[in-house]
Amino acid sequence: MMNITRLVVPQMQERQNGLIINLGSFAAMRSLPFLSVYAGTKGFVKTYSQSLAYELEPQGIMVSHIFSFWVTSKMSGYRDPTLSVPSPEQYVECVFDRLGLRCGSSDSHTAIPYYPHSILNFVISCLWDPMHAKDAHYNIGRNLYRLGQLRQERRKSRQVYFEKAVDEELTRIKTAELRCTNTPVVLAA
Protein backbone atom coordinates (compact mmCIF):
# COMPACT_ATOMS: atom_id res chain seq x y z
CA MET A 1 0.00 0.00 0.00
CA MET A 2 2.75 2.44 0.90
CA ASN A 3 4.82 1.57 -2.18
CA ILE A 4 1.91 2.07 -4.56
CA THR A 5 1.06 5.36 -2.83
CA ARG A 6 4.67 6.45 -3.31
CA LEU A 7 4.39 5.65 -7.01
CA VAL A 8 1.10 7.45 -7.76
CA VAL A 9 1.23 10.51 -5.49
CA PRO A 10 3.88 12.42 -7.50
CA GLN A 11 1.73 12.11 -10.64
CA MET A 12 -1.34 13.28 -8.72
CA GLN A 13 0.63 16.20 -7.28
CA GLU A 14 1.65 17.22 -10.80
CA ARG A 15 -2.00 17.25 -11.89
CA GLN A 16 -3.18 18.78 -8.58
CA ASN A 17 -5.92 16.15 -8.62
CA GLY A 18 -6.33 12.55 -7.47
CA LEU A 19 -8.16 10.00 -5.38
CA ILE A 20 -6.72 7.32 -3.09
CA ILE A 21 -9.08 4.78 -1.53
CA ASN A 22 -7.73 2.52 1.21
CA LEU A 23 -9.94 -0.32 2.39
CA GLY A 24 -9.94 -0.86 6.13
CA SER A 25 -11.83 -3.13 8.48
CA PHE A 26 -13.88 -3.14 11.64
CA ALA A 27 -10.82 -4.83 13.15
CA ALA A 28 -9.25 -1.36 13.42
CA MET A 29 -12.10 -0.26 15.67
CA ARG A 30 -11.10 -2.16 18.78
CA SER A 31 -8.40 -4.59 19.77
CA LEU A 32 -9.15 -8.18 18.78
CA PRO A 33 -7.63 -10.94 20.89
CA PHE A 34 -6.15 -13.73 18.72
CA LEU A 35 -6.19 -11.44 15.66
CA SER A 36 -3.67 -8.91 16.89
CA VAL A 37 -1.59 -8.72 13.69
CA TYR A 38 -4.67 -8.32 11.50
CA ALA A 39 -6.20 -5.71 13.82
CA GLY A 40 -2.87 -3.89 14.05
CA THR A 41 -2.40 -3.71 10.29
CA LYS A 42 -5.95 -2.46 9.82
CA GLY A 43 -5.28 0.16 12.50
CA PHE A 44 -2.26 1.21 10.46
CA VAL A 45 -4.40 1.50 7.30
CA LYS A 46 -6.78 3.81 9.17
CA THR A 47 -4.19 6.16 10.68
CA TYR A 48 -2.00 6.14 7.57
CA SER A 49 -4.98 7.09 5.39
CA GLN A 50 -6.09 9.87 7.74
CA SER A 51 -2.57 11.29 8.03
CA LEU A 52 -2.04 11.12 4.27
CA ALA A 53 -5.40 12.82 3.70
CA TYR A 54 -4.36 15.84 5.76
CA GLU A 55 -1.00 16.03 3.94
CA LEU A 56 -2.43 15.78 0.41
CA GLU A 57 -5.73 17.66 0.77
CA PRO A 58 -4.18 21.11 0.07
CA GLN A 59 -2.83 19.71 -3.22
CA GLY A 60 -6.26 18.64 -4.47
CA ILE A 61 -5.77 14.96 -3.69
CA MET A 62 -8.54 13.17 -1.80
CA VAL A 63 -7.69 10.21 0.45
CA SER A 64 -10.53 8.12 1.81
CA HIS A 65 -10.36 5.32 4.34
CA ILE A 66 -13.27 2.92 3.82
CA PHE A 67 -14.29 1.24 7.04
CA SER A 68 -15.72 -2.16 6.13
CA PHE A 69 -17.49 -4.98 7.88
CA TRP A 70 -18.23 -8.26 6.08
CA VAL A 71 -18.77 -8.61 2.33
CA THR A 72 -19.47 -11.90 0.57
CA SER A 73 -16.14 -13.48 -0.35
CA LYS A 74 -14.01 -16.57 0.23
CA MET A 75 -12.11 -14.72 2.95
CA SER A 76 -15.20 -13.72 4.94
CA GLY A 77 -16.82 -17.13 4.49
CA TYR A 78 -20.13 -15.56 3.51
CA ARG A 79 -21.26 -16.84 0.12
CA ASP A 80 -24.71 -15.31 -0.25
CA PRO A 81 -25.52 -11.61 0.21
CA THR A 82 -27.84 -10.56 3.05
CA LEU A 83 -28.91 -7.21 4.40
CA SER A 84 -25.82 -6.96 6.61
CA VAL A 85 -23.42 -8.74 4.23
CA PRO A 86 -23.55 -7.23 0.73
CA SER A 87 -22.09 -8.64 -2.46
CA PRO A 88 -18.83 -7.03 -3.66
CA GLU A 89 -20.76 -5.31 -6.46
CA GLN A 90 -23.29 -3.78 -4.03
CA TYR A 91 -20.50 -2.66 -1.74
CA VAL A 92 -18.41 -1.02 -4.46
CA GLU A 93 -21.49 0.81 -5.74
CA CYS A 94 -22.10 2.21 -2.24
CA VAL A 95 -18.44 3.25 -1.94
CA PHE A 96 -18.51 5.27 -5.17
CA ASP A 97 -21.97 6.74 -4.49
CA ARG A 98 -20.80 8.14 -1.16
CA LEU A 99 -17.20 9.13 -1.85
CA GLY A 100 -16.10 12.05 0.29
CA LEU A 101 -18.91 11.61 2.83
CA ARG A 102 -18.39 10.28 6.34
CA CYS A 103 -21.48 8.08 6.17
CA GLY A 104 -21.73 6.84 9.75
CA SER A 105 -18.15 7.43 10.83
CA SER A 106 -17.07 9.95 13.42
CA ASP A 107 -13.47 9.77 12.21
CA SER A 108 -12.09 12.24 9.69
CA HIS A 109 -11.47 11.01 6.15
CA THR A 110 -13.18 7.74 7.00
CA ALA A 111 -16.45 6.49 5.54
CA ILE A 112 -18.77 3.60 6.25
CA PRO A 113 -20.64 3.70 2.94
CA TYR A 114 -22.91 0.67 3.37
CA TYR A 115 -25.90 1.77 5.48
CA PRO A 116 -26.34 -1.46 7.56
CA HIS A 117 -22.62 -1.33 8.38
CA SER A 118 -23.07 2.23 9.68
CA ILE A 119 -25.77 1.01 12.06
CA LEU A 120 -23.60 -1.91 13.13
CA ASN A 121 -20.71 0.48 13.76
CA PHE A 122 -22.94 2.66 15.97
CA VAL A 123 -24.16 -0.32 18.00
CA ILE A 124 -20.66 -1.71 18.44
CA SER A 125 -19.30 1.72 19.38
CA CYS A 126 -21.90 1.98 22.13
CA LEU A 127 -21.69 -1.57 23.43
CA TRP A 128 -18.22 -2.90 22.74
CA ASP A 129 -16.15 -1.50 25.56
CA PRO A 130 -13.45 -3.95 26.67
CA MET A 131 -13.56 -2.56 30.21
CA HIS A 132 -17.23 -3.47 30.60
CA ALA A 133 -17.51 -6.45 28.29
CA LYS A 134 -14.19 -8.26 28.68
CA ASP A 135 -15.66 -11.73 28.16
CA ALA A 136 -17.56 -10.74 25.04
CA HIS A 137 -14.51 -8.96 23.66
CA TYR A 138 -12.30 -11.99 24.29
CA ASN A 139 -14.88 -14.43 22.91
CA ILE A 140 -15.42 -12.48 19.70
CA GLY A 141 -11.69 -12.52 18.98
CA ARG A 142 -11.34 -16.18 19.95
CA ASN A 143 -14.33 -17.21 17.80
CA LEU A 144 -13.02 -15.33 14.76
CA TYR A 145 -9.63 -16.99 15.29
CA ARG A 146 -11.24 -20.45 15.58
CA LEU A 147 -13.25 -19.80 12.44
CA GLY A 148 -10.00 -19.08 10.60
CA GLN A 149 -8.44 -22.26 11.98
CA LEU A 150 -11.44 -24.33 10.86
CA ARG A 151 -11.18 -22.91 7.36
CA GLN A 152 -7.48 -23.78 7.23
CA GLU A 153 -8.20 -27.34 8.43
CA ARG A 154 -10.90 -27.73 5.75
CA ARG A 155 -8.49 -26.53 3.08
CA LYS A 156 -5.81 -28.95 4.30
CA SER A 157 -8.22 -31.91 4.39
CA ARG A 158 -9.41 -31.11 0.85
CA GLN A 159 -5.77 -30.93 -0.26
CA VAL A 160 -4.97 -34.29 1.40
CA TYR A 161 -8.08 -35.86 -0.21
CA PHE A 162 -7.07 -34.47 -3.62
CA GLU A 163 -3.48 -35.69 -3.27
CA LYS A 164 -4.70 -39.15 -2.21
CA ALA A 165 -7.06 -39.32 -5.20
CA VAL A 166 -4.24 -38.31 -7.55
CA ASP A 167 -1.91 -40.94 -6.03
CA GLU A 168 -4.58 -43.65 -6.39
CA GLU A 169 -5.19 -42.68 -10.02
CA LEU A 170 -1.44 -42.73 -10.79
CA THR A 171 -1.13 -46.16 -9.12
CA ARG A 172 -4.07 -47.46 -11.19
CA ILE A 173 -2.50 -46.15 -14.39
CA LYS A 174 0.91 -47.67 -13.56
CA THR A 175 -0.72 -51.01 -12.71
CA ALA A 176 -2.59 -50.97 -16.02
CA GLU A 177 0.64 -50.17 -17.88
CA LEU A 178 2.45 -53.04 -16.12
CA ARG A 179 -0.29 -55.47 -17.10
CA CYS A 180 0.06 -54.35 -20.70
CA THR A 181 3.84 -54.76 -20.72
CA ASN A 182 3.77 -58.15 -18.93
CA THR A 183 1.33 -59.73 -21.35
CA PRO A 184 3.16 -62.19 -23.58
CA VAL A 185 3.02 -61.35 -27.23
CA VAL A 186 2.55 -64.29 -29.60
CA LEU A 187 3.64 -63.72 -33.14
CA ALA A 188 2.09 -65.93 -35.75
CA ALA A 189 4.32 -67.04 -38.56
Active site positions, annotated? 38, 42
DSSP the chain: -HHHHHHHHHHHHHHT-EEEEEE--GGGTS--TT-HHHHHHHHHHHHHHHHHHHHHGGGTEEEEEE-----SSTTT---S--SSS--HHHHHHHHHHTTT--SS--STTEE--SHHHHHHHHHHHHH--TTT-HHHHHHHHHHHHHHHHHHHHHHHHHHHHHHHHHHHHHHHHHHHHHHHHHS------
